[in-house]
Amino acid sequence: MTTKDYEWFVKTDLSKYTGEWIATLNQKVVAHGNDAEIVYNEAKAKFPTKKPSLAKIPSGDTLILVVR
C-alpha cells in the first residue's frame, strides 16, 4: 500500500463495510465481504495484474500504529 493509498484508507468513511473485509486498489474499494480469501480472489479476478490491499473494517474503536 502506498502512502497515498494509506492516507485515503485512514481518512475515508468506510463504515458501510463495518465488520467486513475490503480489497482496495487506487483509493477505491474493489471487493468486500465476510471472507478474506474470497474478497482477495474477487479483487484479483477483476485486476489480475495488480496487487490489491486487504483490510478488515473493525466494528469498534481501533488504534492504528504506524512505525516508520
Report pLDDT digits (tens) over 20-32: 999 999 999 999 9
Q: How far is CA 10 from CA 4, 13, 18, 51, 60, in A?
A: 10, 8, 14, 19, 15
Residue 32 has phi, psi (to 5 degrees) of: -155, 160
- Say whether pLDDT at 68 is over 80: no
Q: How many whole angstroms from its chain centre is CA 59?
A: 14
- Say whether pLDDT at 53 is over 70: yes
Q: What is the pLDDT of residue 30?
A: 97
Q: Are the C-beta atoms of 6 and 25 separated by less than 8 Å?
A: no
pTM (two decimals): 0.81
3-state DSSP: the chain helix, strand, coil percent, rounded to 5? 35, 20, 45
Rounded CA gap, 58 and 55, in Å? Answer: 9
For residue 63, name the pLDDT band (cuts at 50, 70, 90).
low
